[in-house]
Structure 1
Amino acid sequence: MVAAQHEKNGKARILAAARALFNSRGFHQTAMAELATAAQVSVGQIYRLFKSKEDIIEALVHDDADEWCEKLAALQARLDSGELTVDQTFEQLMLQTIDEKDEALSFDIMAESFRNSEVADTIGAMCERFRIYIRYFACSANPDLSGEALDAAEDMLLACLFGLGHRSISRPSLSATIAGKRAAQMIVTALRGVR
Structure 2
Amino acid sequence: MRTSIGAADSGTNNRAKLKPKRIDLYDLDTVVKQVVDNPEWYRSLPHRVKANRMAIKMARGGCNDNGIERADALRLKFNDWKRTHYSLPDYSDDLFVVSDLLQEAADELTDQAQNSTDPNQTWGAVFWKLLGEKCKELASAPEARGFDKRQLLGLASELAEECKIWFSPSFDADQELRRLQDTIRAKEGR
TM-based fold match above 0.5: no
Compare CA radii of gyration and give the structure with the larger one: 2
Q: Could you state the TM-score of these two structures normalised by the residue count of structure 2?
A: 0.29
Structure 1 or 2: more helix by fraction: 1
